[in-house]
Each structure stands twice: as structure tokens, then as C-alpha cells.
Homo-oligomer: A and B are copies of this chain.
């Protein structure tokens, strides 16, 4: 073990014993080595800097191909945005562009209580990459990961296939209603003392659900109670943050209600520009820890994440970061985001109305109020139908594509269907399942 690794592991153990106890074997050995990026950072600003293997004009500017930059409308730093063309073309720092990290943190903390600590977010290559870094740090062979079912299928690949962790699921809905104790129930099946992870995803995928204020209190209280029995890492997967359509449903992340509340509950926040800025192809995500910037725990985890990120993808995408930094600096961006939310709210209302008209002996619709999706459940005469069979039938006979979610759901992504098309889509779905049950 290097001196540096021993030092950060000791720092983490002293500053947050629960986080140290939750580390996977890979998480324990991860550290940002004193290699080229470390040495390059030390050489920044020197008169002669021959450290980095990127092609520059010799003064830190890019030597760019005109055919490549023709697709970009970026000037120098400060022209139309804090990060200009040169930095969009050259390597990003491993932890991300500092201007972007600060701007994202400010945006994250708009509704955060002052007394809750959060780190300067580390930039990841999209949301999933934030989750896979969490998996590398904290999951691993046999580690239990609690999740409410149905859940986004990629959790299985990210946590189980890659690291060997095991998912422990509990039903998200009970008697057709959201169960705020689902994660705590899943955790309750584990032997006391065994460290565990829990995945908290609101607005949810595939459910399109965000809890009410009283449900939120139950979610938080039940997880805090679970932390009485074990070191617990709660991953707040805030992919769809802000996309809430129903009156009275809080839009903020539950991270702010969990971070710093219990010594054995470690909340981490995974969010990004993917959905919040509708920048799906840009791959800009963020990973945030519940520790103050510069604290020993934050510094230790930052070193570990930088080591893992460097080993897996080299550095995050500078080009997309420059675009996101520019967008966040624009005075109109929040109005633009709100306009987008209103478009989706219109779709949500149209879909809710269409689903309310379905024959309850064919299809049920669990409550949904937010995000990009709605679930329909095969019930009554369609109970027992394989949703994959329904999906194939809709593709083949009704020119309609939905996603099947075993064992009894289909997911409708209203975010990618025009409002006017949603009644007809639901009509085809209803006709399709009716055909299959004769």
C-alpha cells in the first residue's frame, strides 16, 4: 500500500468511520496516484511545462483542426460563457472543470439547508458513470444493495454484473399505492451489522413517482432507523430532478433530508445535466458526498474517485462541460428549463387522463406525478400475461413501442411522445392487451 493510500484511508476512517466501513475491496485500494495528471497539476503556470501529452501551441492553447471546430460556436474563456474553445478541446481536469463544479454546487444547494454539508461535485461521464463509481467504491462481491421493485434494469448491470453485489428488492407499491417503507423493508431482511447500500430514485424510473411530504418523512425516518442496525450508504439517484408535475409534491432531492442526519447513514448524490438540462448525448454527470469541501473525508473520497475515473475513462468530457458551464451562466437557463418542464407536464396530464379511461379489468395505472415515465400493470383479465409478449404484439400489430418490465408491467416514456399522440398510444395499448386475452 502506498503512503498516500494509507494516509487517505486513515483520514476517512477518522472523519467518517461508517464510510470507511462501507468501502469495497476496490474502494479500499483506490487512490489518485502521483502520476502524470498529479505532476501536471503541480507544473501548471510554470514558464516551461513539458508534462502533459496533449498537443498545444506551447502556451497552453489548443492546436485545433478547423474541420473539427467548425461544429462549435465557442470563443475564448468568458466570451459567452466561462469556459471557451481551448478548454473545450483540451483535457479536462480529472475532477472536472472548476467553474462548472462550483456552478453546479450552487444550483444543487438552492433549496439546501445551510447546515447540511455537501462536497464540491466530481464530474462524471453521465449519470450512470456516477452510479458505477459508487458501485466501484462501495459495492463488490456479496454486498447487499436494497432497491424498490420495479427498478431501472441497468442497476443490475452496474452493481451486480460488474461488482458481484446482490440486489435485495422490496415491492415499491402495495395495494396500488407507493410504499415509503419499501427500502427499509428490504434492508430489514439482512443480518444486523452487515453494511449495505440502498438506491433511492425520485422521480422514479420506471414508476414516474415522487413521494408526498408525509411519505418523504416516512422514507427518511425508516432509513435513519435502518442505520441504527448497520452502516448504510443511501444513493440518491436524482436523474430526473426537478421534473415534478403535480401540485404539492416536493421537487428537492432527498439527499438534503438524509445527509448528516445519522453517523451510520452516508448519503451520496448522483445527478447530472442529462435530464436536468436535456443534454442526453453530452454525458455530464456529478457525484456529491455529504462532507464539506476540503474536509478529510471529502478529500479522501475525491482521491479515490479520481483514481477510479482516471483508470476507467481517463478524464471527463471537456467539450460537454464547456457547454453546460455556458448554459448555467446564461440568465435565461432556468426559464428554459421551466418551459421544458411545462411541456412534459402537459404530456403527463394527457397520459394520466388517457390511462384513467382504461378498462380497469385490463390495465391498472399506479400513481405517477413526475419524471419521464408511467407504469401500467397487467391486472384483471390480463393478469398473468407476459409483458414481453405484450410488447412484441404492440410492435408487430400496432406500430407501437413500449418497454416491458417483468413480471407484470409496461413502461410508457411520455417524455419522448408528443402530447397529442398519447391518447392514441394508450388506445393501441388497451386494444393490444384486449386482443391477447381474446
Q: Mark A residues whose CB is within 8 Å of B.
A: 26, 29-30, 33, 35-36, 39-40, 42-44, 46-60, 62-68, 70-74, 80-81, 87-92, 125-129, 132, 136, 153-154, 156-158, 161-162, 205, 275, 277-283, 307-308, 310-324, 326-327, 330, 332-333, 336-337, 340, 343-344, 372-373, 391, 395, 398-404, 411-421, 424-425, 428
Are A279 and B89 within 8 A (Cβ)? yes
Q: Out of B46, B55, B70, B316, name the residue touching A80 (CB < 8 Å).
A: B70
Evaluate whether A313 and B129 lie within 8 angstroms (CB atoms) in the complex, with A153-B35, A413-B50, A413-B52 already known. Answer: yes
Contact A340 to B55, CB < 8 A, known contacts A39-B404, A68-B277? yes
Given contacts A128-B314, A313-B283, A318-B282, contact A72 B73 (CB under 8 A): yes
Residue from B39, B66, B340, B421 within 8 A of A332 (CB atoms): B66
Report which residue of A65, A310, A373 has the largest number of chain B beta carbons within 10 angstroms of its beta carbon: A65
* Contact between B52 and A92, CB atoms less than 8 A apart: no
Q: Is the CB of A67 within 8 A of B336?
A: yes
State the copy count for this chain: 2
A53's partner among B89, B326, B373 (CB-CB below 8 A) is B373
A227 to B51, CA, bound (A): 37
Can you give 22 A-B contacts (C-beta < 8 A)? Answer: A35-B154, A35-B157, A43-B401, A43-B402, A46-B401, A47-B400, A58-B421, A59-B418, A65-B277, A67-B333, A68-B327, A71-B327, A72-B73, A88-B281, A89-B278, A91-B281, A92-B281, A128-B314, A129-B313, A132-B313, A162-B312, A283-B314
Is A401's CB under 8 angstroms from B65's CB? Answer: no
The answer to whether A317 and B402 touch across the interface, beta carbons within 8 angstroms, is: no
Nearest-CB residue, chain B, relative to A68? B327
**Nearest chain B CB to A296 CB, angstrom units:** 22
The minimal Cβ–Cβ distance linking A145 to chain B, given in whole angstroms, is 14
A30 to B162, alpha carbons, bound, how many Å? 8
Query: Would you call A278 and B400 a contact (CB within 8 A)?
Result: no
Instruction: Collect the chain B residues with CB atoms within 8 Å of residue A54's CB.
Output: 278, 280, 372, 415-416
Q: Which residues of B contact A57 (CB under 8 A)?
A: 418
